[in-house]
Amino acid sequence: MKHLILATLIILSCSITWAADFDKGLAAYGAGDYDTALAEWKPLAEQGYVDAQHNLGVIYAQVIGDAKEAVKWYTLAAEQGNAEAQYNLGLMYAKGQGVIQDNIYAHMWWNIAEANGYERAKYNNDIFVKRMLPEDISNAGYLTSICIENNYKNCWLKDKMHRRFNFVGFCSAKWGETFRELVARNGLYCNNFLGVPFAGKQQGSYTNGKKDCLSG
């Protein structure tokens, strides 16, 4: 039985501007001095240096054990187009670490990492799709195209994703809520349970006296 490839290690490359500080963090990390590595990389990450952001994600995920903080830094790096961070973010969604477990988002981020040339993502996708429903694979593919079009930012909030469901009327969803969570909280009857987050008020319809959110 094939298993998913786990998270990538730290990135070794660095830009000339921040090379000295980045290399100090790299040397510290290699020596097991994670506090110093964190101290060197965090200011760079906060200034938007993508490799430092990814490496912070690795430290928080693999050393400190703070999955939510790891997701924060992986997301920032992924939104800048870093393929390793996109791959690792997919892993966090696949395993439900620091985020609600979501196969659609795992597949989406691996699709994006693969499109950016990261071979490990293809390997994981080949395994992962066998565990997914056809409609989940389809929606992951749709979200992939939206995410790439939106330069990897706010991939789950795009209006096009909302319109895809062709709702009529109104269903009230909380910020970042998945479709399954919307159903459970409102006691809705729905014919297609998708793990796609919603924000704001979404359209819905009424069938046989029940609020019925149908995907179109």
User: Are residues 108 and 175 both part of a single domain?
Assistant: no
User: Are residues 102 and 201 both part of a single domain?
Assistant: no
User: What CATH code is carried by the domain that includes residue 106?
Assistant: 1.25.40.10
Tell me whether residue 200 is in a domain.
Answer: yes
User: Are residues 165 and 183 both part of a single domain?
Assistant: yes
Inform me whether the pLDDT recorded for 215 exceeds 70. Answer: no
User: Are residues 166 and 83 both part of a single domain?
Assistant: no
User: Are residues 31 and 115 both part of a single domain?
Assistant: yes
User: Are residues 129 and 60 both part of a single domain?
Assistant: yes
Residues sharing a CB contact under 8 Å with residue 185, sequence separation 6 or more, in sequence order: 174, 177
User: Are residues 63 and 108 both part of a single domain?
Assistant: yes
User: Are residues 101 and 28 both part of a single domain?
Assistant: yes
Tell me whether residue 154 is in a domain.
Answer: no
- Measured CA distances, 161 to 48, 116, 139, 189 (Å): 28, 22, 9, 21
- The pLDDT tens digits for 120-164 are 999 999 998 998 988 888 888 888 988 998 899 878 653 444 434
Of 41-50, 53-62, 68-77, 201-210, least confident by mean pLDDT is 201-210
Which range is most confident: 8-22, 47-61, 155-169, 174-188?
Answer: 47-61
Residue ranges making up the domain that contains 202: 159-213
Binning pLDDT at 50, 70 and 90, where does residue 196 land?
very low
**What residue spans of the chain are helical by DSSP H?**
19-30, 34-46, 50-58, 67-79, 83-95, 103-115, 119-128, 134-149, 159-163, 179-186
Higher pLDDT, 9 or 99: 99
- The pLDDT tens digits for 58-105 are 999 999 999 999 999 999 999 999 999 999 999 999 999 999 999 999
Higher pLDDT, 31 or 190: 31
User: Are residues 135 and 85 both part of a single domain?
Assistant: yes
The predicted structure's pLDDT at residue 208 = 30
Number of domains in the chain: 2
Tell me whether residue 8 is in a domain.
Answer: no
What is the rounded CA–CA span in Å between residue 155 and residue 36? 34
User: Are residues 178 and 209 both part of a single domain?
Assistant: yes
Tell me whether residue 179 is in a domain.
Answer: yes
Strand 197-202 relative to strand 171-178: parallel, antiparallel, unpaired? antiparallel
The secondary element (H helix, E strand) that includes residue 197 is: strand 197-202
Tell me whether residue 96 is in a domain.
Answer: yes
User: Are residues 123 and 181 both part of a single domain?
Assistant: no
User: Are residues 175 and 83 both part of a single domain?
Assistant: no
| Token pair in block for residue 91 | 């892993």
Inform me whether the pLDDT recorded for 15 exceeds 90. Answer: no
